Structure 1
Amino acid sequence: MNLALDDYISIYIHQSDLIFTSYIKSKLAPLNIAPEQNLIMMLLWKQDGLSQNEVAEKLDKDKTNIARMAHCLEQKGFINRVSCPNDRRIQRLYLTEAGRQLSQHVIPIAEEFHETLCKNISEEELLQLRSILSKMRENLK
C-alpha cells in the first residue's frame, strides 16, 4: 500500500488541530493566557483546589508540563499553588480573584469557538466523530 500524503488521516487531524489551536490562541492572546493554560483554568473553574497531579490525569498531560504551566499561571496572578500540609510534594491549585474573573471573558470565547467549530454538524455526526477519535486513541494505547 502506497499512501499519498493526503491519505494519512493522522496528518489531516494534526493539520486541523493546528488550525483550531491557532484560532483559539488568537482569541485568548488579549487575555494573556495560552490555550494549554486555559485547559487548567477550565478545570479549576469547575473544581477549585485540584492538585497538579489531578490536573495532569484529567488532561492526560505530563506532570512536569502541568507544573510548568501552573507556575506560569501563578506568575500571571490567576492561581496560587499551595503545598499540602500533610504532604509537601502535593501542590494544590487555587484560583485567585483575577483567575475567577477571567472566566467571565474566557467562557464566552470557548462557547463561541465550540459553536463556530460545530456549525452545520449534527449531534449524531459529533457523536460519531467522538467515537471514531476514541477508537483511534485506544488503538495507540
Structure 2
Amino acid sequence: MTTQAPCAELLLDNQLCFALYSTSLMMTKVYKPLLQELGLTYPQYLTMMVLWEDDGITVGDVSSRLLTDPGSVTPLLKRLEAEGLLKRTRSSVDERVVELFLTDKGLTLRERAKAIPTCILSASEQSMAELSTLKNELIALRDNLQKAI
C-alpha cells in the first residue's frame, strides 16, 4: 500500500459541506429533547412552524416552504393529523388540493414551543446578532446553490 500526501482540497475538515452537515447534526441533537417534550420530531416541528405562521395553507405550500416535494411531506402531515394537531381537508374550489388547518391542540402547542428559540440561542453560546448574521449568510448560500441546480 502506497501512502500519498494528503490532498488539501479533499481533507474532510476543509470541506464547507461537512461543516454544514455536522452542524446540522448537532443542531438536531440539541433540538431533540426540547421537541420530545412537545411530542414532535424535528421535521414535524418545521412543518408546525410553517402552519403556525400561515394556517390554512395547502400541502404544496408547506412543501415549497420546506424545500421538499409534496410526496415526502404527506406522510408527516398524516402523522400530525393522527396526533390531533391539524386537519387536512380537500379544497372546495379544487378537490385535488389539500388544505391544512391547525386544531385547537395544534394552536396550544405553539404556546409551549415559544421557549425553544431561547433554548437554542443559549446552547449556541452566541449573540442573537451573530446568529442572525450567520442565518442570513446561510440563506444567501442556499439561494445561490438552488440557482445552480
Confirm or deny a common fold (TM above 0.5).
yes
The alignment status of 1:20 with 2:27, answered yes or no, reads: yes
Quote the residue 1:9 is aligned against.
Answer: 16
CA RMSD of aligned residues (A): 2.1
Give the superposition deviation at 1:118.
4.8
Which of these residues, 38, 41, 53, is aligned with residue 60 of structure 2? 53
1:112 CA displacement: 2.3
1:134 matched to 2:140? The reply is yes
Task: Say yes or no: does 1:93 pair with 2:100.
Answer: yes
* Amino acid paired to 1:6: D
Matching residue's letter, 1:13: L
| Equivalent residue number for residue 120 of structure 1 | 126
Q: Counterpart of 2:114 in 1: which secondary structure?
A: helix
Secondary structure of 2:57's aligned partner = coil
Unaligned runs of 5+ in 2: 1-6
CA drift of 1:136 comes to 5.3
In the alignment, the residues of structure 1 paired with residue 30 and residue 132 of structure 2 have an alpha-carbon distance, to the nearest angstrom, of: 20
Q: What amino acid sits opposite 2:12 in the alignment?
A: L
How far did 1:121 drift?
4.0
Tell me the number of residue pairs that the alignment of Structure 1 and Structure 2 aligns. 140
Q: Give the Cα separation in 1 of the matches to 2:72 and 2:129.
A: 33
SS of equivalent residue, structure 1 residue 130: helix
Cα separation, 2, equivalents of 1:30 and 1:128 = 28
Alignment of 1:57-72 (within 5 A): 57-72=64-79
Q: CA deviation at 1:19?
A: 0.6
Q: Secondary structure at the match of 1:80?
A: strand
1:106 aligns with 2:113: yes
Work out which of the residue numbers 56, 76, 89 in structure 1 matches 2:83: 76
Q: CA deviation at 1:111?
A: 3.3
Q: TM-score, normalised by structure 1?
A: 0.86
1:38–1:124 distance in 2 versus 1, CA, 3 Å: closer
Larger Rg: 2
Identical aligned residues as a percent: 23
AA aligned to 2:125 is K
